[in-house]
Structure 1
Amino acid sequence: MIEDIIRLNSLYDYYGKLLTDNQKQSFYYYYRMDYSLSEIAELIGISKQGVSDNLKRATKELEFYEENLKLAKKSTSIKGFLNQIESITSREDNQENIEISNLVKKIEKELED
């Protein structure tokens, strides 16, 4: 269950802007702020069933985007490769390895933004 929530939050980071406003709000309050369906319904002015439907649609859409675009999977793979490069270059402290290490850090920062 926790792994699913972490995965969905990761997918939201990549694709959340593609959801409708109600889906975004429902998702944010439910998965990030831990609000109940009733609290969310009252907050955004829709029924509890509407919130539930928004969450189901949002989850389905996030999974659909990842299945087709694979941005989260690719990012995870790239981060793994960067960690391997960092590990290899940290074994020997020469100028070339320091430059490679600095480039790896810049790439990692770009992936986070």
Structure 2
Amino acid sequence: MLILTFEDSEEEIVNHIVFYISTGTKAFQVVENARTELRFDGLEIDVAKRLVRKQKQEIDLTFTEFEILHLLVRNPGRVFSKEQIYNSVWKEPYFGDYNIVMSHIRNIRKK
């Protein structure tokens, strides 16, 4: 069995996967990190319940707003392009105007 965590470096992950595949194993399962509560810059995010609180007050986010915020909080300090955010949140290739991403980010900031 191969277990990888988000704490593993990219190089370690690649090395483990290459070794695991080279052993002839046909199937493997990816299990996401079990962290269900995140805290960042005064925000509390309960991923399992899809709740966001700021200073103990619940913030009502749409599904897409939550996904964008969750992506950004999971990757503190990382800079994402609009295309990267779109591809990650919508889980499909870009096909139109990235202004939709900025519109959702503006809404998150207002809230």
Q: Name the TM-score class by shorter chain.
A: 0.3 to 0.5
Larger Rg: 1
Provide TM-score, normalisation by structure 1. 0.37
Greater RCO structure (CA 8 Å; 6+ sep): 1
Provide TM-score, normalisation by structure 2. 0.38
Specify which structure has the higher proportion of helix.
1
